Amino acid sequence: MDKIVVLDFGSQYSHLICRRIRESSVYAELVPFDISYEELQEHSPKGIIFSGGPSSVYNSKAPMPEDKIFEMNLPLLGICYGHQLIVNRFGGKVKRANREYGSSLLTVDEDRDLLNGVGRSVRAWMSHGDEAEEIPPGFQVIGHTKSARAAAIASEDRAVYGIQFHPEVVHTEQGTKILKNFVLKVCGARQDWTMEGFMESSVEKISGMEGNVLCGVSGGVDSTVAALLIHKAVGDRLKCVFVNNGLLRLDEENEIEEMFRDNFKVNFSSIDASKGFLGRLKGITDPEEKRKVVGEEFVRVFTDFAEKSDPPFKWLAQGTLYPDIIESGVSKGPAAVIKSHHNVGGLPERMNLEILEPLKELYKDEVRQIAKILNVPERLFMRHPFPGPGLSVRIIGEVTPTKLWICKVASRIVEEELLEAGLYGKVWQAYAAVGDDKAVGVVGDKRKYGSVVMIRVVDSIDAMTADWTRLPHELLEKISNRITNEIEEVTWVTYAVSSKPPATIEPQ
């Protein structure tokens, strides 16, 4: 398979470069900027991209790739900091400039190779403080903006290019086209990155592995796809285990069991551990404490199951995705942050098993494509994200059977109504939460003191920030009526209109 390697110099957009290239069916991988020459050679790339980054090339501590990488004579594309790096490296000059941030008009001077078919003038996203003052010998300017004379440069015979703007962000019109020109026209990469191809090669790879595989499934798309892929490769040597913690959405445990056992016919065990989880949560009101208890209990139940198995397992399968790998620090740039939500804290370390992560090269939408190919019901893979600690973070205060029931039924109503209104797929998350607040209502002629349910519906791109969704009033009214009519214990329904920040998506 042909591959493009992206050296990460720390831009928050670095992984988007890979994302965009893969949209053109060419495989791209992000690696640290200081990858060794030998390691890079092992990738056998068809071309190399230098990402953006916060540094200045003229700074003595500026991150630089290993020298020998330039001797590989591979096509090179530098983006933003990467552009300046190329200017510097090939003998041009970079200087401090007025900071430019936002959209600029790029005028295309040479409609060949990199900028071919892009149009005469397009919007391009800039975010830089330095610029090329002198371009290196043998290079020519192929695009400029009002403030950056050398916004795009090329040395076509060496296949080396630099662009000051970010083609990977959606604000750059034709950005994908520019990247596509680089990978297809300049590098000549084949478009052989397809999910069918990926499935075939991973099944082949996994079938060569010996030993039994244990896979914890949650009903989420990642663990489901990981399990099904492994099942294709090793059949009954795979055992899927589902731990019912009693904190799931209404009926979820039955749906999951039916799907794995009856639909997909995989070797499946469901452990009803709800009593243990709910018992341990009794009396606990602190949100972090609840998370900790749920995490610990999961590890206990899961390891207990694994240790008792005969014959023993050799592998522990996980639905880790590529962004998880990037987040936990494969890339050395400042964009690397450690995931804050650890649901199964320390599970792999505690179990003496080897880790199998068949999806670790994939982005979420690629996993969804595989889910489609494998006939995973659409309802499942289009379902909203659900927190690992389940409804314990949507029940404010102590988790009691009544609050749990209210939360389940009210959330089901919210989901059903959004689906019916055609809005479910358009929002990030939608659910009902409940706490200990009570409010007076009237039923017939009698006053009743009942629970207050809070509806939370948010729009978001990555859950880092979120905005509350402006749902039509009629829809809110319908949801409210259904909740108070169908759940006897509820008298009031409120709608959360706080965005993140300062609020978070989950109330606990």
User: Binding ligand XMP by CB under 6 A: which of 291, 408, 456, 482?
Assistant: 291
- Closest CB to ligand XMP among 32 and 390? 390
Least CB distance to ligand XMP at residue 168 (A): 24
Please name which of 271, 276, 246, 237 lies closest in space to residue 257, comparing C-alpha atoms: 271
**Which residues within the stretch 484-503 sit at the binding site for ligand XMP (CB under 6 A)?**
500
x/- contact string, 330-359, with ligand XMP (CB under 6 A)? -----------x-x----------------
With 0-12 / 13-18 / 19 or more C-beta atoms within 10 angstroms meaning exposed / middle / buried, residue 182 is buried
User: Binding ligand XMP by CB under 6 A: which of 32, 175, 387, 435?
Assistant: 387
- Closest CB to ligand XMP among 96 and 341? 341
Return d(Cα 7, Cα 64) in angstroms, integer. 10
Per the annotation, the verdict on 144 as an active-site residue is no
- Closest CB to ligand XMP among 78 and 388? 388
* H or E element at residue 79: strand 76-79
Confirm or reject binding of residue 385 to ligand XMP (CB under 6 A).
yes
Sign of CA dihedral 207, 208, 214, 220: negative
Contact between residue 319 and residue 279 where contact means Cβ atoms under 8 Å apart: no
- Closest CB to ligand XMP among 249 and 291? 291
φ/ψ (deg, to 5) at 62: -60, 135
Strand partners, 241: 216, 269
- Closest CB to ligand XMP among 85 and 434? 434
Contact between residue 367 and residue 380 where contact means Cβ atoms under 8 Å apart: no
Binding span for ligand XMP by CB under 6 A among 21-29, 64-72, 358-366, 387-395 = 387-395
Least CB distance to ligand XMP at residue 342 (A): 8
Least CB distance to ligand XMP at residue 390 (A): 9
Binding span for ligand XMP by CB under 6 A among 64-72, 152-160, 384-392, 467-475 = 384-392
- Closest CB to ligand XMP among 32 and 507? 507
**Which residues within the stretch 183-222 sit at the binding site for ligand XMP (CB under 6 A)?**
none
- Residue 68 tokens read as 């020998």
Return d(Cα 64, Cα 61) in angstroms, integer. 9
x/- contact string, 296-335, with ligand XMP (CB under 6 A)? ----------------------------------------
* H or E element at residue 420: helix 401-420
Return d(Cα 239, Cα 236) in angstroms, integer. 7
Per the annotation, the verdict on 187 as an active-site residue is no
Confirm or reject binding of residue 2 to ligand XMP (CB under 6 A).
no
Per the annotation, the verdict on 80 as an active-site residue is yes
Confirm or reject binding of residue 504 to ligand XMP (CB under 6 A).
yes
* Catalytic, out of 18, 80, 215, 240: 80
Least CB distance to ligand XMP at residue 15 (A): 19
Confirm or reject binding of residue 463 to ligand XMP (CB under 6 A).
yes
User: Binding ligand XMP by CB under 6 A: which of 82, 388, 435, 450?
Assistant: 388
Per-residue burial over 315-326, b = 16 or more CB atoms within 10 Å of its CB, e = otherwise: bbbbbbbbebeb
Return d(Cα 332, Cα 342) in angstroms, integer. 21
User: Binding ligand XMP by CB under 6 A: which of 145, 218, 429, 480?
Assistant: 429
What are the E-state strand segments in 237-288? 238-244, 268-272
Please name which of 263, 209, 214, 270 lies closest in space to residue 238, comparing C-alpha atoms: 214
Confirm or reject binding of residue 506 to ligand XMP (CB under 6 A).
yes
Q: Residue 243 to residues 214, 219, 274, 290: CA-CA distances in angstroms?
A: 13, 10, 8, 17
Contact between residue 336 and residue 382 where contact means Cβ atoms under 8 Å apart: no
Contact between residue 92 and residue 141 where contact means Cβ atoms under 8 Å apart: no
**Which residues within the stretch 48-87 sit at the binding site for ligand XMP (CB under 6 A)?**
none
Confirm or reject binding of residue 224 to ligand XMP (CB under 6 A).
no
Question: What residues have CB less than 8 Å from 77, skipping those under 6 apart?
Answer: 47, 48, 49, 50, 114, 161, 162, 163, 182, 186
Confirm or reject binding of residue 389 to ligand XMP (CB under 6 A).
yes
Least CB distance to ligand XMP at residue 504 (A): 3
Active site (catalytic) residues: 80, 166, 168
Binding site for ligand XMP (CB under 6 A): 291, 341, 343, 385, 387-389, 393, 429, 463, 500, 504-506
